[in-house]
């Protein structure tokens, strides 16, 4: 069990977070660049000293600013950190990189089996300068996994890798984390990576943990408008004195009052996106973007869409537990067609 | 630039060496080196040079690492100090060393108590060579350490190596080619040290002083062979450093 409750001063703001990651659990830390995600990992790894905090792994206190004060140095923490830059030792072969950590089992069986799982079995004698970006990442991951750390921290390790390799590595790490029962944290600003990897998703913005929960809950029920914006809700439509969050991928064409909020608006732009279409819709004063399977035809100038079960936010930006019912004359709660005034 | 252009520059830079080879004959070398005690300056130069390198490696390597890693407060002040000793003409260093370690100075008295003497002794020669070559090694070694990515050291630490082990397994191997080159330059400075040496270590003769005194006593033709000797005995070490550095770089490229 990894437990971290820290306050870390950065130049612009203070990173505050309280997190628990159970053995074998995978937590994704999601947030925009500069939110303090890396700072949080570096604090757990012992590279950054928090102003105040307590960090423990399996009841072993690594950092404590309260008496008895402790600051276990990073080389004694057994916390593995994989960064975006693979950081292979250029003077050592792939084999020597893999078995660098003093804690690597001497037998070598594990190394060869892990190397073949990672697809680097043929590269053991190569020098890091000869490796492609993807190969270097796999070696770095192998080196980290062979070190048998008590905690795995992955700091955007998949940036710049192709989609299939990302998925392979994500699956491999997930399996190993479960097998070994170590807590794992992944820092990413790609929501897809976070969802593919994590049991739980934590959203960090400007040093504050905004929401922690199951990935689906966070994505479908963001705790605040700010979380919704970070998660990818591109439009917000006023409904009475609340606002409905519109995620482009949670919109279907047509009016289905029983499935969510029906909106009618004017299409201002339409472009191909992936295998479907992306349309910008003006609904009253609001602009929303939606992903549709078919190219929208707006013969009558007005196009009707249904926003599937949207989250609603109050005037202070916090999420409402349920869809608003007041002002039902204008809109029939979650159902019915709402026309912008 | 073509090979020809590079060749012209190379030959121009080598001008003095070419002239040297043109102006000495085999018989002159033979007669100069077969005189009694003629090889003593060579031995003295090699010994003092090696001791100097040892001293530099021992005391300047840690300091250069601390400078490179920003471990010292007010780093510009420290670097300015190094530059000062680099900017002082060797002759002036020699004169100042007399005031520093000469017989009637506090350090000189300590040395006397230890039955040592830093005037016209082997110790004085080493001191002069250290002061003439230290800034070259220090600055080169600092650059060598600075070229090692600190994130690699950090990564080694996270994998469980304590700092001393990180230094031995990551920092030192990665900085080694640069350190070897800096030692080679320091070696060249130590072997050719003259300005400070002539002031505080006129005896025992190293090769540069042997050249100078032979020139004064018997003239240029008998002094020149020692210049060739200096080249021949001083060249192998830096050459080996060059070759070794190039090999290390090639090995790293895989």
Is A251 found in the same domain as A139?
Answer: no
What mean pLDDT do residues A14-26 have? Answer: 94
Is A144 found in the same domain as A88?
Answer: yes
Is A183 found in the same domain as A247?
Answer: no
B6, part of any domain: no
Q: Identify the pLDDT of residue A299.
A: 59
Range A156-177 burial, b when 16+ CB lie within 10 A, else e: bbbbebeeebbebbbebbbebb
Q: How confident is the model at residue A325 (pLDDT cuts 50, 70, 90)?
A: low
Q: How many structural domains compose chain B?
A: 1
Instruction: Find residues 223-282 of chain A whose CB sits inside 8 Å of chain B.
Output: none
Structure tokens that stand for A147 in this block: 């070190």
B18, part of any domain: no
pLDDT, one tens digit per residue, over B35-63 is 777 788 889 999 999 999 999 999 999 99
Is A329 found in the same domain as A256?
Answer: yes
Is A307 found in the same domain as A213?
Answer: no
Structure tokens that stand for A35 in this block: 């939110």
B131, part of any domain: yes
pLDDT, one tens digit per residue, over A90-136 is 999 999 999 999 888 777 788 898 899 888 999 999 999 999 888 99
What mean pLDDT do residues B119-139 have? Answer: 91
Closest CA to A15 of A47, A62, A56, A48: A48
A139, part of any domain: yes
Is A207 found in the same domain as A260?
Answer: no
Domain span including residue B211: 40-253
Residues of B with CB under 8 A from a CB of A: 149, 151-152, 154-163, 166, 169-170, 173-174, 248, 251-254
Q: CA of B152: which chain A residue's CA is closest?
A: A87
CATH no. for residue B193? 1.10.3720.10
B204, part of any domain: yes
Between β-strands A276-283 and A260-273, what pairing exists: parallel, antiparallel or unpaired?
Answer: antiparallel
A226, part of any domain: no
Is A248 found in the same domain as A175?
Answer: no
Domain stop point among A220, A255, A283: A220
Cβ distance B166 to A75 less than 8 Å, yes or no, reads yes
pLDDT, one tens digit per residue, over B75-118 is 889 989 888 888 999 999 999 988 888 888 889 889 888 888 88
Closest CA to B124 of B210, B48, B211: B48
pLDDT of B30 strictly over 90: no
Between β-strands A79-82 and A151-155, what pairing exists: parallel, antiparallel or unpaired?
Answer: parallel
> Which among B151, B169, B173 has CB closest to A87?
B151
Domain span including residue A250: 232-338
pLDDT of B132 strictly over 70: yes
B108, part of any domain: yes
B246, part of any domain: yes
A225, part of any domain: no
B62, part of any domain: yes
CATH no. for residue A103? 3.40.50.300
> Which among A77, A87, A143 has CB closest to B152?
A87
Is A216 found in the same domain as A94?
Answer: yes
Structure tokens that stand for A215 in this block: 């990935």
Is A189 found in the same domain as A237?
Answer: no
Q: How many structural domains compose chain A?
A: 2
Cβ distance B158 to A130 less than 8 Å, yes or no, reads no
Round to whole Å and give the CA distance between A256 and A239.
Answer: 17
Is A90 found in the same domain as A157?
Answer: yes
């Amino acid at each position: 069990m990894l437990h971290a409750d820290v306050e870390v001063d950065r130049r612009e703001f203070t990173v505050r977070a309280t997190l628990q990651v159970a053995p074998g659990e995978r937590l994704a830390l999601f947030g925009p660049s500069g939110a303090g995600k890396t700072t949080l990992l570096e604090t757990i790894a012992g590279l950054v000293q928090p102003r105040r905090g307590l960090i423990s792994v399996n009841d072993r206190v690594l950092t404590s600013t309260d008496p008895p004060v402790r600051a276990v140095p990073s080389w004694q923490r057994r916390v593995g950190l994989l960064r975006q830059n693979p950081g292979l030792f250029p003077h050592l072969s792939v084999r020597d990189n893999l078995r660098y950590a003093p804690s690597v089992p001497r037998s070598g069986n594990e190394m060869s089996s892990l190397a073949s799982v990672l697809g680097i079995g043929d590269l053991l004698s190569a020098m890091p300068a000869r490796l492609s970006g993807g190969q270097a990442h796999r070696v770095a991951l192998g080196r980290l996994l062979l070190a048998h750390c008590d905690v795995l921290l992955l700091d955007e390790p998949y940036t710049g890798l192709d989609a299939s390799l990302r998925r392979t590595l994500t699956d491999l790490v997930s399996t190993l984390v479960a097998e070994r029962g170590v807590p794992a944290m992944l820092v990413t600003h790609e929501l897809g990576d976070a969802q593919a990897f994590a049991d739980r998703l934590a959203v960090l913005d400007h040093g504050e943990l905004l929401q922690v929960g199951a990935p689906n809950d966070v994505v479908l029920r963001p705790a605040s408008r700010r979380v919704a914006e970070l998660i990818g809700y591109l439009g917000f439509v006023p409904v009475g004195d609340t606002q409905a969050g519109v995620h482009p991928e949670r919109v279907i064409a047509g009016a289905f009052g029983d499935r969510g909020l029906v909106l009618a608006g004017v299409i201002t732009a339409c472009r191909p996106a992936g295998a479907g279409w992306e349309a910008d819709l003006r609904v009253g004063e609001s602009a929303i973007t939606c992903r549709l399977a078919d190219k929208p035809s707006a013969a009558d100038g007005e196009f009707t869409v249904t926003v599937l079960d949207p989250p609603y936010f109050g005037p202070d930006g916090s999420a409402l537990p349920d869809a608003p019912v007041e002002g039902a004359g204008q809109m029939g709660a979650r159902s019915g067609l709402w026309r912008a005034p | 630039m073509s090979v020809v252009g590079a060749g012209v520059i190379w030959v121009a830079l080598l001008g003095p060496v070419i002239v040297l080879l043109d102006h000495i004959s085999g018989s002159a070398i033979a007669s100069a080196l077969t005189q009694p005690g003629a090889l003593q300056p060579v031995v003295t130069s090699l010994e003092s040079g090696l001791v100097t390198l040892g001293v530099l490696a021992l005391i300047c390597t840690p300091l250069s690492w601390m400078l490179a890693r920003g471990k010292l407060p007010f780093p510009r002040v420290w670097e300015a100090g190094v530059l000062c000793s680099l900017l002082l003409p060797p002759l002036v260093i020699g004169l100042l060393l007399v005031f520093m370690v000469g017989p009637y100075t506090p350090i000189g008295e300590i040395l006397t108590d230890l039955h040592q003497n830093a005037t016209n002794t082997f110790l004085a020669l080493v001191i002069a060579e250290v002061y003439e070559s230290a800034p070259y090694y220090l600055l080169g070694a600092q650059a060598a350490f600075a070229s090692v990515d600190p994130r690699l050291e950090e990564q080694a630490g996270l994998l469980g190596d304590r700092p001393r082990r990180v230094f031995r397994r990551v920092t030192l191997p990665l900085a080694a080619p640069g350190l070897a080159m800096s030692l080679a330059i320091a070696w060249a400075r130590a072997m050719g040290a003259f300005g400070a040496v002539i002031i505080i270590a006129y005896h025992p003769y190293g090769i540069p002083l042997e050249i100078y005194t032979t020139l004064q006593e018997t003239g240029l033709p008998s002094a020149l062979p020692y210049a060739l000797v200096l080249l021949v005995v001083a060249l192998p070490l830096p050459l080996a450093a060059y070759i070794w550095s190039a090999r290390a770089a090639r090995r790293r490229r895989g």
